[in-house]
Amino acid sequence: MIVRILTGLGALLFLSVASVGAATMDELEARIAVLERALERAEQERKKLEKILESASRLKLELEKVRREREMLKQDQKKFEKVVEVVEAIELPKRDEKATVVSLYGRFWPRVTYRDGKDTSTDITDALSRVGLKAESRVNNTLTAFMGGEWDVDLEQNGDWGDARLAYIGVEHSRYGYLAIGKQWDAHYRIVTEGSDIFYNRRSPYGFNEEGGFRSNNQIQYANRFGDFKLAAMLQVNGEACPGIGVGDRIRPNNAGDCAGSGERVFEGGGIRTATDPDHVDAASIGIAYDGPFYLGVSYLRANAPKGTASVGPDQTFYGADRNLSGLGGRDTRRDFIGVGGRWQATDDLYLGFTYQYLRHFEGVVYPGDLELKQNRYTLDLLGTYDFGGGWKALVDVYLHDRDSGNRSPLDSGPSLIGNAVTLVKELNPAMDVFVEWVRDDFGNPTLVAIDENGNPRTDGDGNPVRNAWTDTGLVNKFSLGFRYDFDKKIY
């Protein structure tokens, strides 16, 4: 009995121990599985950390490389600065022949023109052909001396060598600007008109040309640039010229310096000439312009002639019966020009521009008993060019000229002008262009016989009617075909 009891207790104990052992093993296996997963995650993190360390090592190497390159650049910069100091300390030798450049340049510009107006005609004309010589000589690294001369070549008159268009000499400093004396482009033109003078016609730009202001003789001019702004100013001191000839200045003495007599006055376009007492400032102008993404300039020009006659307009020439007009004597003549010009390169192919000029003309007595002569004129050009590619280009100008035709002076009254010009250009090579042009001028229908303050026709000493001097009336169309050849060759 006892044996059976002990045997039962032993079996029960064995079963209890076996049960406890099985539970412990399951728990251990679960814990081992958890540890294994933790080890796997730790291994993954270790690999990530190794990659980060590798990246950091590469970055450290790159930083070291950048530091070395920076040090090399600093050393190179110091060497370059030393070279610059040496170069700047070197002053170019004065009057060194190698620093002198002489160039011969020119433009030949003939055309055949058919004119259809009050009368019709066909003619070979010239659009201001010219030949010029220019030279510049470096004085030092900041100062340059220069000179220039340019002469008209009249291809429609046997190719005769004509009057001087330019003749000047001066100096230009890199900081203090340009100073020149002689016959040169007006400051008024440089500021207001230069960007509009692009057409293949001697009247370019067409509206502005009616009143002029291109080149002047006997002037001293200063110009400079200050960042995006530029300044130009000039004085014209012409001394005593032909007595009795006024600011119209399209009248001149002959090449020998002699003054013309009655009926021998010769028209000269494209300039401002005045006749005054010695030691008197005949004309002065000043202008300023902004030249940045677009261009806008404004200029003021005054021309005086205290002992001149009435101004002569650009279309006037006195011959024959009109010679008696030379007896008109005026005083206190003055012309004030206010100009505004702008341009804009809208795209690579499209260029736009404008030029506006307002003119006030003051005049003393012309005929005994006449009213004082006062005029307000203006010119306007609206223009553009378009490059079609392949050497083809079109130029367009729409222009106005109000001549204040209500004025009673036989010299200054005239029709108002409204016109347009269209030019098509083909560039054959960089030197040679061929072009066709259509110019349409509408002069209206002005009074051709001068009238006095009472509205009666004027007569001269012989009883002949005094005519207004304007040559064109009504509608005039001109069609032209021409060539333009440019050259500029360094000869020394």
| 178-211 per-position pLDDT tens digit | 999 999 999 999 999 999 999 999 999 999 988 8
pLDDT band at 455; cut points 50, 70, 90 = low
Tell which wins on pLDDT, 320 or 94.
Answer: 94
Residue 278 belongs to some domain of the structure:
yes
pLDDT band at 148; cut points 50, 70, 90 = very high
CB 412 within 8 A of CB 312: no
Query: Does residue 169 share a domain with residue 194?
Result: yes
Tell which wins on pLDDT, 473 or 9.
Answer: 473
Query: Does residue 112 share a domain with residue 43?
Result: no
Q: What is the per-residue pLDDT for 24?
A: 77
* Mean pLDDT on 152-176: 90
- Torsion region of 257: left, alpha or beta (phi above 0 gives left; psi -120 to 50 gives alpha): left
pLDDT band at 273; cut points 50, 70, 90 = very low
> Where a domain ends, among 65, 88, 111?
88
Residue 357 has pLDDT above 90, yes or no: yes
| Greatest mean pLDDT among 110-119, 254-263, 329-338 | 110-119
Query: Does residue 195 share a domain with residue 62?
Result: no
Query: Does residue 146 share a domain with residue 192?
Result: yes
Residue 279 has pLDDT above 60, yes or no: no
Q: What is the per-residue pLDDT for 448?
A: 55
* Average per-residue pLDDT for the chain: 77
> Where a domain ends, among 38, 61, 88?
88
Residue 3 belongs to some domain of the structure:
no
Tell which wins on pLDDT, 312 or 13.
Answer: 13
* Mean pLDDT on 124-145: 93
Q: What is the per-residue pLDDT for 281?
A: 78
Residue 356 belongs to some domain of the structure:
yes
Tell which wins on pLDDT, 448 or 53.
Answer: 53
Query: Does residue 240 share a domain with residue 204?
Result: yes
Residue 10 belongs to some domain of the structure:
no
CB 196 within 8 A of CB 380: no
User: What is the number of domains present in the chain?
Assistant: 2
Query: Does residue 393 share a domain with residue 329?
Result: yes
424-429: list long-range contacts, CB under 8 Å, 24+ apart.
424/392, 424/393, 424/394, 425/200, 425/392, 425/393, 425/394, 425/395, 426/391, 426/392, 427/391, 427/392, 427/393, 428/391
Query: Does residue 487 share a domain with residue 400?
Result: yes
- Domain that includes residue 46, residue range: 28-88
Q: What is the per-residue pLDDT for 21?
A: 56
Task: Say what the pTM is.
Answer: 0.66
Residue 4 belongs to some domain of the structure:
no
Residue 277 has pLDDT above 50, yes or no: no
Residue 163 belongs to some domain of the structure:
yes
Which one, of 361, 386, 381, lies nearest residue 372 by Cα?
361
Tell which wins on pLDDT, 400 or 75.
Answer: 400
Query: Does residue 177 share a domain with residue 300?
Result: yes
* Mean pLDDT on 475-485: 96
Residue 440 belongs to some domain of the structure:
yes
Residue 469 has pLDDT above 90, yes or no: no
Query: Does residue 182 share a domain with residue 54?
Result: no
Look at 80-84, 216-220, 269-273 and tell me which has the smallest mean pLDDT: 269-273
Percent of the chain with pLDDT over 70: 67
Residue 309 has pLDDT above 80, yes or no: no
Residue 20 belongs to some domain of the structure:
no
Query: Does residue 61 share a domain with residue 147?
Result: no
Residue 302 has pLDDT above 70, yes or no: yes
Tell which wins on pLDDT, 153 or 240.
Answer: 153
d(C-alpha 342, C-alpha 349), whole Å: 17
* Mean pLDDT on 302-323: 43
Q: What's the CATH number where 136 sits? A: 2.40.160.10
Query: Does residue 194 share a domain with residue 343?
Result: yes
Each residue of 391-421: b (16+ CB within 10 Å) or e?
eebebebbbbbbbbbebbbbbbbbbbbbbeb
pLDDT digits 0-9 by tens, 45-65: 888 888 888 888 888 888 888
Mention every residue, 6+ apart, whose C-beta is less than 8 A from residue 356. Answer: 339, 340, 341, 378, 379, 380, 381
Query: Does residue 110 share a domain with residue 136?
Result: yes
CB 196 within 8 A of CB 205: yes
